[in-house]
């Protein structure tokens, strides 16, 4: 079986890059960015980590098809389509909503990687999600890769860093990535998850379900959603363009721009101890900028 995603990886080289900003300097803070966005153009960022153990499990159980769940703009759908193709597995995407006349670029890409799309109503989507399991050789991966196997994969993200960081900050969607990071963190490290969703206060409980029982060194911040999931007011886009101009760092509208903004704002508001070392996980997602590429000054420049 050809499984170059799940077999022992060829050593990935992942860059850690220093980010400078006057707000950080004023508080004697250092900020490094773990550039997971550079791993792969399609299964970028955290998605590869989150999918790894599900795929391994599917191959072990001799399934021939992977099924997963998502919306019209889901990075997880595209990543799963591509990863399944690499593992020579068929893939099915259960998509929430009626089939649109024109598929979004995300869904077009998933189809191009061989995924069969099934459009279902919001109600059917919830039912299918609840009854997912493993049947007829179809292996179901939960929406967004949420689950213990997803968190187990995400726990490997920190193996590319050292333990010197006082704070580790990352974006939160389903909370799977942050759960993995908390599980693999040292107790002296404080993990801060920045929610990309508005008022998703069930996240704390959903994350706790994935944690080793003794882990308490984290907080989820709900203040930087910029209006809600995938909302991108002009203020956020200017911040992204400025970050590219000043630091040559590309960010995405859904997750990482909000996370970086949050770090600088929290630094400004004295939420980090003076002199601390901070690590931000750049979890990828840049292909999600496709829909607003004409309003960004860096789209397409980076790769
Ligand atoms: C999917 C995604 C996330 C969210 O990860 P969760 O594990 O669902 O919390 C964060 N950042 C980017 C860029 C993503 O694509």
- Mapping DSSP onto H, E and C, the string for the chain reads CCCCCCCCCCCCCCCEEEECCHHHHHCCCEEEEEEHHHCCCCCCCHHHHHHHHHHHHHHHCCCCEEEEEECCCCHHHHHHHHHHHHCCCEEEEEEECCCCCCCCHHHHHHHHCCEEEEEECHHHHHHHHHCCCEECCEEECCHHHCCHHHHHHHHHHHHHCCCCCCEEEEEECCCHHHHHHHHHCCCCCEEEEEECCCCCCCHHHHHHCCCCCCCCCEEEECCCCCCCCCCCCHHHHHHHHHHHHHHCCCCCCCCHHHHHHHHHHHHHCCCCCCCCEEEEEECCCHHHHHHHHHHCCCCCCCC
Q: What is the pLDDT of residues 164-208, one digit of tens each?
A: 999 999 999 999 999 999 999 999 999 999 999 999 999 999 999
**Which residue's C-alpha comes closest to atom 14 of ligand 1?**
285
> Do residue 126 and residue 157 come from a single domain?
no
- Using the mean position of ligand 1's atoms as its centre, give its distance from the Cα of residue 144 in Å: 8
Identify the domain boundary among 145, 178, 210: 145
Answer whether residue 300 is part of any domain.
no
pLDDT at 148: 98
pLDDT digits (tens, 9 = 90+) for 278-293: 999 999 999 888 888 8
Backbone angles phi, psi at 155, to 5 degrees: -60, -20
Residues 288 and 169 both lie in one domain: yes
Cβ–Cβ < 8 Å for 148, 180: no
303 lies in some domain: no
Distance 139 CA to ligand 1 centre (A): 21
Domain that holds residue 137: 46-145
Looking at the fold, whether 53 and 25 belong to one and the same domain comes out as no
Q: Is residue 301 part of a domain?
A: no
Give the domain CATH number at 162: 3.40.50.1100
**Residues pairing with 67 in the sheet:** 92, 140
The residue to mutate among 70, 75, 209, having the most atoms of ligand 1 within 8 angstroms of its beta carbon, is 75
What separation in Å is there between the alpha carbon of 180 and the centre of ligand 1? Answer: 12
259 and 177 both lie in a single domain = yes
**Per-residue confidence (pLDDT) for residue 303, from 0 to 100:** 42
Question: Do 157 and 279 lie in a common domain?
Answer: yes
How far, in Å, is the centroid of ligand 1 from the Cα of 26?
Answer: 30
Q: Are residues 59 and 186 in the same domain?
A: no
In-domain check, residue 252: yes
167 with 281, same domain? yes
In a domain, 302, yes or no: no
38 and 51 co-located in one domain: no
Write the CB contacts of 149 (distance below 8 Å, at least 6 apart in sequence): 53, 54, 57
Question: Is the CB of residue 252 below 6 angstroms from any atom belonging to ligand 1?
Answer: yes
Q: What is the pLDDT of residue 12?
A: 66
pLDDT-based confidence at residue 136 (cuts at 50, 70, 90): confident
> Of 103, 120, 145, which closes a domain?
145
- The reply to whether 70 and 120 lie within a common domain is yes
Please check whether residue 174 is in contact with residue 258, taking contact to mean a CB–CB distance below 8 angstroms.
no
**Tally of domains within the chain:** 2
Cβ of 161 less than 6 Å from ligand 1: no
Question: pLDDT tens digits, residue range 227-280?
Answer: 999 999 999 999 999 999 999 999 999 999 999 999 999 999 999 999 999 999
């Amino acid at each position: 079986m050809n499984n170059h995603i799940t077999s022992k990886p060829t050593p990935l080289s992942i860059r850690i890059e220093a980010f400078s900003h006057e707000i950080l300097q004023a508080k004697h803070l250092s900020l490094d960015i773990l550039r997971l966005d550079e791993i792969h153009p399609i299964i970028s960022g955290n998605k590869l980590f989150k999918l790894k153990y599900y795929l391994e499990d599917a191959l072990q159980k001799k399934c021939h098809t992977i099924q997963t769940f998502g919306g019209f703009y889901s990075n997880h759908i595209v990543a799963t389509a591509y990863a399944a193709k690499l593992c020579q597995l068929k893939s099915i995407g259960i998509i929430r909503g009626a089939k649109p006349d024109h598929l979004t670029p995300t869904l077009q890409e998933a189809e191009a990687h061989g995924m069969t799309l099934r459009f279902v109503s919001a109600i059917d989507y919830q039912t299918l999600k609840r009854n997912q399991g493993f049947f007829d050789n179809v292996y179901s991966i939960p929406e967004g890769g949420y689950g213990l196997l997803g968190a187990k994969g995400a726990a490997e993200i920190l193996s590319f860093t050292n333990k010197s960081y006082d704070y580790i900050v990352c974006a939160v969607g389903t909370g799977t990535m942050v759960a993995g990071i908390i599980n693999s963190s040292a107790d002296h490290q404080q993990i801060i998850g920045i929610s990309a969703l508005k008022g998703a206060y069930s996240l704390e409980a959903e994350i706790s379900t994935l944690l080793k029982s003794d882990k308490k060194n984290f907080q989820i911040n709900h203040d930087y959603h910029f209006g809600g999931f995938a909302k991108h007011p002009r203020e956020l886009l200017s911040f992204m363009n400025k970050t590219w101009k000043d630091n040559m760092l590309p960010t995405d509208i859904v997750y990482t721009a909000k996370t970086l903004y949050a770090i600088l704002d929290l630094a400004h508001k004295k939420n980090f101890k003076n002199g601390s070392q901070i690590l931000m996980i750049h979890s990828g997602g840049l292909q999600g900028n496709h829909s607003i590429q004409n309003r960004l000054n860096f789209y397409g420049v980076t790769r």
